[in-house]
Amino acid sequence: MSTTTSSPHAHLSVADRVANAQKRRDQAISRAEGWRRRGPLLPALIFMIVVTQIPFVFTIYYSTQSWNLVRPGSRQFVGLQNYASVFADSQFRGVALNTILIIVGTVLISVVLGLLLALLLDRAFLGRGIVRTLLITPFLVTPVAGALLWKTTMFDPVFGIVNFVLAPFGAGETDWVSSYPIAAVMIALIWQWTPFMMLLILAGLQSMPRDILEAGRVDGASAFAQFRELTLPHLRRFIELGAVLGAIYLVNTFDAIYMITQGGPGTASANLPFYIYQRAFLGFDIGQAAAMGVVVVVGTIIVATVALRMIFTSFSGKEEAA
């Protein structure tokens, strides 16, 4: 008795075999086309990995070492001990609170001022283009130059413009940098970031359908009621996006603090990047500084991912089920 072994495709018709072959060819072409489209992006991807990811891997490695540059031969593996020391460091917690205060205060005030300026520029008036250009200028100034400008020209206790303007109110001899270091840094950052918020919110205002506002006016709604019920809900996504992007960038603020206050007095105005700089390049404690850097990066990624996910969900119009 003989046994006949048939091909698994023996039962397919000629038309089915041709269709399967065509499908495989289409898939191969699709994969090749995908690689051709991704090809131009590969150099940028490789550059990003070399510049950002490889140093971060080395930072993680250094965070497991006890290594102080002023003590030769002190380098040794300590595991997670540096991370435990970071969370037990009271100065680190204080600097973290400074960072949150600077970010939240700067973002909130910048958003409010940006909203007011955007509402102003959304109206037609003589010289609007010139006013818009002047309002955008602070965002185009190099951060180091802007911080130096505020320290030497605005906040100088003797020749500063701020004291000159406030002299009639009895504040003409105030040393703002020494007396109110965090406020001085925040004012410089607000001056820099308000134009960014203004442009983003202005784009949202100009994307709003005018027939909705016209319908509100026809129904007898006041200007404030239109703003509260129509304009503000439309701008919510743009405001949230500006707040998240501003917070992500402000986490890395170093130049304003270095140029205006040097983190002082003590660490009263230091934020996390400046404190890490002090530990790495003034205290020469590479292991502790690397552990702080890893903690800051991981925390920033977690917060930014959650916030951006919420914003993208809002922009797509898809609400997650409760």
Q: Is residue 301 part of a domain?
A: yes
Q: Is residue 87 part of a domain?
A: yes
H helical segments located in the chain: 14-38, 42-48, 54-63, 81-88, 90-121, 128-140, 143-149, 161-166, 176-179, 181-206, 210-218, 223-226, 232-250, 255-260, 272-277, 286-316
Q: Is residue 60 part of a domain?
A: no
Contacts of 59 (CB under 8 A, 6+ apart): 290, 293, 294
Judging by beta carbons within 10 Å of its beta carbon (0-12, 13-18, 19+), is residue 305 exposed, middle or buried? exposed
Query: What is the pLDDT, as a whole number, of residue 321?
Result: 40
- pTM value is 0.81
Query: What is the pLDDT, as a whole number, of residue 127?
Result: 86
CATH number at residue 281: 1.10.3720.10
Backbone φ and ψ of 66, nearest 5°: -95, 105
Q: Is residue 308 part of a domain?
A: yes
Q: Is residue 43 part of a domain?
A: no
Q: Is residue 70 part of a domain?
A: no
Dihedral-angle region of residue 22 (phi above 0 means left; psi in -120 to 50 means alpha; beta otherwise): alpha
8 A C-beta contact, residue 163 and residue 171: yes
Query: What is the pLDDT, as a whole number, of residue 29?
Result: 63
Q: Is residue 180 part of a domain?
A: yes
- What are the pLDDT tens digits along the chain (322 aa)? 444 444 455 555 666 666 666 677 666 667 777 677 777 878 888 888 888 889 899 999 999 999 888 888 878 999 899 999 999 989 999 999 999 999 999 999 999 999 999 999 988 888 888 998 899 999 889 999 999 999 999 999 888 899 898 888 877 788 889 989 999 999 999 999 999 999 999 998 888 887 777 777 877 778 888 888 888 888 888 998 899 889 988 988 999 999 999 888 887 889 999 999 999 988 889 999 999 999 999 998 888 888 888 777 766 654 444 3
**Cα(22)–Cα(231) distance, integer angstroms:** 54
Query: What is the pLDDT, as a whole number, of residue 1?
Result: 46
Q: Is residue 304 part of a domain?
A: yes
Domain range for 248 is 76-316
Looking at the structure of the chain, the number of domains it has is 1
Which tokens belong to 119?
């509402």
